[in-house]
Chains A and B, each alone.
Chain A
Amino acid sequence: MPANQKYLTTSKWERLAKITAGLFGGYAISASIHVLIALWLPCHKLVLITSVYSLFLVWMLFFVLAFLFKKSWKTLVIYLVIIAVNCLVIYYGKLYYPVV
């Protein structure tokens, strides 16, 4: 019954990298996605109030996804790219449609 070892990551560093990516990267992605949607859609209040639950769901989704990559560096790189792109979109969003 325990999961078959041959499919699992054995290296401690690999595992640590994936957990880090899922926990911190996952949160960063989730938070930035919500911010950018709030900026680019006209109804930022509704997006923010939705984020009280959707933030955790999206975060959890990226946490799960982090484990599906075979190589941990791929997870890290992909997550960093997503965060960077989001940050760029947020930057322009804040420039053109600031909330306050």
Chain B
Amino acid sequence: MMSKRNYNVFFHTHTVSGIVISVALYIIFFAGAFALIKDEITVWEKGINYTRNVSGNSIDYDVLVEKIKTEKYDLYGRDIRIVIDEVSPEIFISLSASQDSLAPESSKKYEYFNINKNTYEISGYYAFYSFGELLYRLHFFNQVPIVGVYIAGFVAFFFLFAIVTGVIIHWKKMISNFYVFRPKAKLKTIWTDAHTVLGVIGLPFQFIYALTSCFFCLSFLVLLPANYLYDNDQQQLMEDLRPMTMSYPIETKSNQEFSLNQFRDKTLAKWEHFSMKQVYIRNYGATNMKYQADGIVEDEFIGNGRIIYDVPTGKVEIVKNPYEANYLEGVELTIRRLHFADYGGLALKIIYFMLALITCFVIITGVLIWLEARNKKNVPEAQKRFNQKVGHIYLAICLSMYPIIAFTFIITKLLPRNLDASRQSILYIVFFGLWLVASILLTLRKDNYFTNKISLQAGSIFAFCIPLVNGIISGNWIWNTIILHQYEILFIDIFWICLGLLTTYISLKLEKKQPKIVIKEKIIKTSKINLKNQITMNIKISMLWLFIAVGFIVHHIYGLFGVYYIESVMMEGATGEVPIDHHIYRILFEGIALLFALLTLQVSKKWFMMISFIWAILLGLFNIYHCVTAVIYESSNISEILILIWMLFVSILLVNDLWGCNKKIKTQTR
């Protein structure tokens, strides 16, 4: 029997841990839901010239190795890792540094790239940056340098904590509450019922994800004690715990001719249903060169197998039978399969996707309960205002993710393939930029009902546009993809239609059940608009915009000063023509700043102030980035750093003043 005190303590820890991680967790689950189908998304994005893939089991390793040798890198003494994917035509290749101490400098670097398994064409890993990749990386905050993945890991750990405390507090009424749903009751009751019921339905799923994610993101915490046990002998540790990563010290160079494909054929002859997932060629060209095939048999859940051949002698060195499960190797595979949902085809991924959406809903309702429970008479006004604000920000960030993702899907199709080189930056700007703008606008609107409705509606419209855009741009209309059996592309189109239908249905069913706002609005005396004040403010803001433009110009001139010190001003690869994106940069930076400087003197409308405010924030973020990179990469260039710091300062003033202006306009219109 739990004491009253313990119950309340558990309750409070559940609330606090939940609310602290809520937004991050929502982003992780929402982006993660799409990450499940990231390979399908990549195929869908590329669209044109899509041909059926050859099977991963019939890759020609001799051709592949020859191709790398003739076109790219010297292979002697390296370990080649070949990661095969069924959906994507690209094979991921990574080359370790050569173990040969006499190898040239160029062979002593780790390299990675892709090879197409149909054409054996080599391409850079980032040659085509897919939106699926962006979402996949977002789901463990990889865009945040260094610490991102650890933040994600601790979010997962606190999620685990929130799940366990949640189960403890609901334990007694778990079964009876499961059948309680009171849609006609007041808001808080609806949120609570939904939170409890959906939380229980998703419980196993969420528990799996919390635990497996801890392992993926915080594995260094597992390695810490293990390394201590092994006295930091990492080689031995890895060989004992992850036998697939075992490496061999290199012997001498061998001139013997060899073929790798015979080992592939031998492996496949051994186990009929074996599909190869990773192939390692270790100590390439040495007398102890190895061919290692790792794979799975689909008829077993933990059906991982491995075989290692010694290439010069053709002898089998190590066998791990895929039909004999063993705990040591099964643990990591189980964790991976449960997390990546690759054990039941697309149908399973759809179930996972829906469970992820349910989890998102549980997170949102959790935040709403927290808000509603604190909207009471005995809560101080200031505290209430703060809570409301937090609620607005949380919901704006979370809910706007859906339409922005859908919109970026459209953009991915509209981007022409000759922009592939800058595809990553364009996608970053479109996705993160729009998401930021949408979050700010929806936060300022201060209406959760509106945030929800507009996100669902806009998302649905974009969702229905996605198959249309795909058809128009790539000719991959749904009927074409059915005829050509291009099921990956078809899947993404159908997926968006279904998602669009679902969100349309929800948005039509939405009823405005506004919580009674208990906060007493401050009575604002609408005094006569102080015209003089307004004009001085506008002049001030206009001056600040001018400063920004001047700052950019000074910055450019400093760049030109190199001429005095013999440095050439011609850029690398200049052709005599100004590239179009440089024009765009100029317009974006100086042009728009000058435009705002002029317009601020003439226009003082609400919408205009709002646009200037958003642009000022974006510019401020850019200035921060610019300043930081200048300090890191050209720390000796003092004058340039000073002008950048000055611009950052102007940006801050500008944002601050525009914020004040927007607030004032708001109170006046009330």
Contact = CB atoms under 8 A, between A and B. Distances in A.
Contacts of B214: 53, 56
B225 interface: yes
Interface stretch (B6-14, B134-142, B485-493, B521-529): B6-14
A64 B229 contact: no
5 contacts: A3-B9, A44-B229, A48-B229, A48-B240, A67-B10
A59 B328 CA distance: 22
Given A3-B8, A4-B8, A38 B229 contact: yes
Interface string A77-97: 000000000000000000000
Contacts of B228: 35
Interface residues of A, number: 33
A1 B13 contact: no
A53 B215 contact: yes
Contacts, number: 99
A45 interface: yes
Given A8-B12, A35-B229, A45 B240 contact: yes
Interface stretch (B158-166, B253-261, B531-539): B158-166
Interface string B358-378: 000000000001000110000
Contacts of A51: 222, 225-226
Contacts of B8: 3-4, 7-8
A52 B230 contact: no
Contacts of A39: 229
B617 to A, nearest CB: 33
Chain A at the B interface: SS class? helix
B369 A55 contact: no
A8 B373 contact: no
A64 B13 CA distance: 8
Interface string A1-24: 111100110000000000000000
A20 to B, nearest CB: 15
Interface string A32-65: 1011001100001110111111011101100110
A31 B227 CA distance: 11
B241 A48 contact: yes
B68 interface: no
B215 A100 contact: no
Contacts of B222: 51-52, 55
Contact of A45 (B6, B13, B328, B335): B328
B1 to A, nearest CB: 14
B241 A45 contact: yes
Contacts of A38: 229
A88 to B, nearest CB: 15
Contacts of A57: 160, 211
Nearest to A55: B222
B25 to A, nearest CB: 16
B231 interface: yes
B517 interface: no
A92 to B, nearest CB: 14
Given A3-B15, A4-B8, A7-B9, A52 B332 contact: yes
Given A44-B229, A60-B161, A63-B161, A52 B335 contact: yes
B160 A56 contact: yes
B374 A48 contact: no
Given A3-B11, A8-B9, A56-B218, A48 B226 contact: yes
Given A49-B328, A100-B231, A60 B241 contact: no
Which of A32, A49, A51, A100 neighbours the largest number of chain B CB atoms within 10 Å of its CB? A49
A39 B230 CA distance: 11
B215 A49 contact: no
Nearest to A53: B211
Given A52-B222, A56-B218, 19 more contacts: A2-B11, A3-B11, A3-B12, A7-B4, A8-B9, A31-B225, A32-B225, A35-B229, A44-B229, A48-B229, A48-B240, A49-B332, A51-B225, A52-B215, A52-B332, A56-B160, A56-B211, A57-B211, A68-B9
B270 interface: no
Per CB-CB distance, the 7 closest pairs between chain A and chain B, nearest first, are: A7-B8, A3-B12, A3-B11, A3-B8, A1-B373, A56-B214, A31-B225
Which of B10, B161, B229 neighbours the largest number of chain A CB atoms within 10 Å of its CB? B229
B570 interface: no
B152 to A, nearest CB: 14
Given A52-B215, A100-B230, A7 B5 contact: yes
Contact of B160 (A1, A45, A60, A68): A60
A62 to B, nearest CB: 11
Interface in B320-347: 327-328, 331-332, 335
B121 to A, nearest CB: 38
A57 to B, nearest CB: 7
A52 to B, nearest CB: 5
Nearest to B331: A49
B349 to A, nearest CB: 23
B189 to A, nearest CB: 10
Contacts of A2: 11-12, 15, 373-374
A100 B233 contact: yes
A67 B9 contact: yes
A16 B222 CA distance: 25
Nearest to A2: B373
Which of A3, A27, A45, A50 neighbours the largest number of chain B CB atoms within 10 Å of its CB? A3
Contact of B327 (A3, A46, A53, A56): A46
Given A1-B188, A64-B165, A100-B233, A52 B331 contact: yes
A48 B327 CA distance: 12
A99 B165 CA distance: 37
Contacts of A34: 225
B157 interface: yes
